[in-house]
């Protein structure tokens, strides 16, 4: 893994000092770290995956709370840290100048202490002062097609504790399996979070598909103060936007255009009573051939996104249809594939898509408020339990597979109206 802080060109070293390393001279540790000496929070990752690791590290920085994760990715066929998880760990360690042990491929135990200087005026969930995070400019090369967007997801909440602007350029996969495509992150997630005060932006140099990765994207974060999040009603639908991307090597096959055409033919826009507001087809520089499509549904209170990736041997039109099927299910229209319960005859009441649901919980814990999610998935349940471990308990009420989540400090409930509250 390659990390550089661009401001001075200094390569950040991997720290291997454990909590009880008596060989470390006290004079080498900053005074605020010597006075702090908090107890590490013990976390069990044996029944969880990479999201658990990423979220735990983010919460550790937000709360200035040392953690020790044992059984890292214990329920996966290849347990322990992989390249993409190590990239998150080392990036956060570099930004915080944290103390870290277990930062190596395959490691099943990780210790991480952000060791930030506490800011008494910013109180965390456990009543202790939160840390203040310095900004700066960093380069991160994941070294594989590991997901850049998942790394960015770990960084976005840190805008709430930044002292100054933070810029992180990542080389890796931008549109890869088991991760949000880049256009979902920048055209769905960021616009939604900006509504509540997050100041962030992406600059894209090139895309990265499997197997080579090699995409290059810069995330810029500014110090941000979040407003309470209220996302319990969808409101009137306002339109649909399509973002279809192909690598330049596939341009002669019109892959981006065919994906968009497949999506448009399958989308039941007339039945939903909405129009196509934007259609963007892009041929992007990339070391590997590949494609992706994202469909965004705009409504009065927010946006939702649905995506699909190109696959070898899969017609481009089918890729677009897959994304459209997911959008149709969200809208409750069309002849989307899936069970009768998934299709339904009415639009889902949730204003966010299934993938946004678990990603939103950290922001809900930071800002307060309520979010209705389409289902309490394993990821939602895991994120909620982890937040509670850090002291940010959430209230949850579920009805017929739908749920509304609120922060633990709220006392309002829609239970009287039969609405689920988390």
**Banded pLDDT at 112 (limits 50, 70, 90):** very high
Residue 20 has pLDDT above 80, yes or no: no
Residue 260 has, within 13 A of its CA and on its CB side, a CA count of 19
Mean pLDDT computed over 107-128? 79
**Stated pTM of the model:** 0.86
Residue 399 has pLDDT above 90, yes or no: no
What is the tens place of the pLDDT at every residue in 62-75?
A: 999 999 999 999 88
**Whole-angstrom distance, CA of residue 422 vs CA of residue 408:** 9
Q: Which helix (H) or strand (E) element contains residue 376?
A: none
Strand bridging mode 215-222 / 237-247: unpaired
* 172 touches 210 (CB < 8 A): no
Location of structure tokens 């399958």: 266
The arrangement of strands across the sheet holding 67-70 comes to 41-44, 67-70, 109-113, 99-101
pLDDT at 335: 67
pLDDT at 348: 57
What is the tens place of the pLDDT at every residue in 220-271?
A: 999 999 999 999 999 899 999 999 999 999 999 999 999 999 999 999 999 9
Which residues lie below 8 Å from residue 267, measured CB to CB, with a gap of 6+?
240, 295, 324, 327, 328, 334
pLDDT at 196: 97
* 369 touches 407 (CB < 8 A): yes
Least confident interval from 95-99, 184-188, 289-293: 95-99
* 391 touches 126 (CB < 8 A): yes
Least confident interval from 171-185, 241-255, 338-352, 383-397: 338-352
pLDDT at 75: 82
How many helices and strands in the chain, by DSSP H and E? 13, 19
Q: Which helix (H) or strand (E) element contains residue 119?
A: strand 118-123
Q: What is the CA radius of gyration of the chain?
A: 22
Q: Just list the catalytic residues.
A: 379
Which residues lie below 8 Å from residue 51, measured CB to CB, with a gap of 6+?
358, 379, 382, 383
Mean pLDDT computed over 180-197? 98
**Banded pLDDT at 347 (limits 50, 70, 90):** low
Least confident interval from 104-108, 115-119, 240-244, 355-359: 115-119
Residue 218: phi and psi, rounded to 5, are -115, 130
Residue 15 has pLDDT above 60, yes or no: no
* 264 touches 226 (CB < 8 A): no
What is the tens place of the pLDDT at every residue in 45-95?
A: 998 889 999 999 999 999 999 999 999 998 888 999 999 999 999 999 999
Distances (CA, A) of 46 to 70, 72, 139: 7, 6, 31
The DSSP result for 194-222, as a single string, is HTTT-EEEEEEEE--BTTTB-EEEEEEEE
pLDDT at 118: 76
**Whole-angstrom distance, CA of residue 363 vs CA of residue 7:** 29
Residue 400 has pLDDT above 60, yes or no: no
pLDDT at 65: 94
Residue 416 has pLDDT above 90, yes or no: no
Token digits for 306?
A: 């649905």
Residue 412 has pLDDT above 70, yes or no: no
Give 215's strand partners: 172
Residue 10 has pLDDT above 70, yes or no: no
Residue 19 has pLDDT above 60, yes or no: no
- 221-237 in b/e form (b: 16+ CB < 10 A) is bebbebeebbbbbbeeb
**Whole-angstrom distance, CA of residue 8 vs CA of residue 14:** 17
| Distance between first and last Cα of the chain | 39
**Banded pLDDT at 338 (limits 50, 70, 90):** very low
Q: Which helix (H) or strand (E) element contains residue 298?
A: strand 291-299
> Which domains can be identified in the chain, with CATH numbers?
2-227 (3.65.10.20), 234-343 (3.30.360.20), 354-417 (3.10.28)
Mean pLDDT of the chain: 85
Return the SS3 of 348. coil
**Banded pLDDT at 128 (limits 50, 70, 90):** low
pLDDT at 121: 63
Which residues lie below 8 Å from residue 263, measured CB to CB, with a gap of 6+?
242, 244, 293, 295, 320, 321, 323, 324
Least confident interval from 31-40, 205-214, 346-355: 31-40
């Amino acid at each position: 893994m390659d990390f550089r802080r661009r401001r001075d060109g200094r390569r950040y070293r991997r720290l291997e000092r454990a909590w009880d390393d008596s060989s470390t001279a006290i004079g080498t540790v900053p005074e605020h770290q010597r006075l702090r000496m908090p107890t590490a929070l013990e976390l069990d990752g044996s029944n969880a995956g990479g999201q658990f690791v990423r979220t735990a590290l983010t919460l550790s920085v937000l709360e200035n709370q040392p953690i020790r994760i044992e059984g890292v990715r214990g329920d996966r066929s290849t347990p322990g840290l992989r390249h993409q998880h190590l990239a998150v760990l080392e990036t956060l360690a570099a930004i915080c100048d944290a103390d870290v042990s277990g930062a190596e491929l395959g490691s099943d135990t990780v210790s991480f202490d952000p060791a930030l200087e506490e800011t008494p005026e910013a109180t965390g969930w456990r009543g202790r002062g939160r840390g203040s995070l310095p900004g700066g400019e960093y380069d991160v090369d994941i070294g594989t097609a590991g997901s850049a967007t998942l790394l960015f997801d770990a960084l976005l909440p840190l805008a709430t504790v930044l002292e100054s602007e933070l810029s992180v350029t990542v080389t890796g996969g931008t549109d890869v399996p088991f991760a949000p495509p880049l256009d979902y992150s920048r055209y769905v997630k960021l616009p939604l979070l900006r509504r509540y005060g997050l100041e962030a932006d992406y600059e894209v140099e090139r895309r990265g598909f499997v197997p080579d990765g090699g995409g290059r994207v810069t995330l810029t974060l500014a110090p941000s103060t979040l407003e309470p999040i209220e996302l319990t009603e969808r409101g009137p639908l306002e339109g649909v936007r399509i973002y279809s991307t192909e690598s330049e090597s596939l341009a002669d096959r019109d892959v981006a255009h065919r994906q968009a055409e497949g999506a448009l033919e399958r989308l039941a826009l007339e039945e939903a009573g909405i129009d196509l507001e934007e259609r963007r087809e892009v041929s992007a520089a990339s070391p590997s051939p590949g494609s992706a499509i994202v469909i965004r549904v705009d409504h009065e209170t927010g946006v939702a996104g649905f995506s699909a990736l190109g696959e070898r041997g899969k017609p481009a039109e089918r890729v677009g249809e897959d994304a459209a099927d997911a959008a149709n299910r969200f809208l409750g229209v069309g002849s989307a594939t899936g069970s009768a319960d998934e299709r339904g005859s009415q639009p889902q009441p949730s204003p966010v898509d299934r993938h946004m649901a678990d990603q939103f919980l950290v922001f809900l814990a930071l800002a307060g408020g309520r979010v209705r999610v389409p289902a309490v998935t394993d990821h939602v349940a895991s994120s909620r339990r982890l937040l509670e471990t850090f002291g940010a308990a959430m209230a949850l009420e579920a009805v017929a597979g739908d749920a509304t989540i609120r922060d633990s400090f709220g006392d309002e409930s829609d239970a009287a109206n039969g609405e689920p509250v988390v």
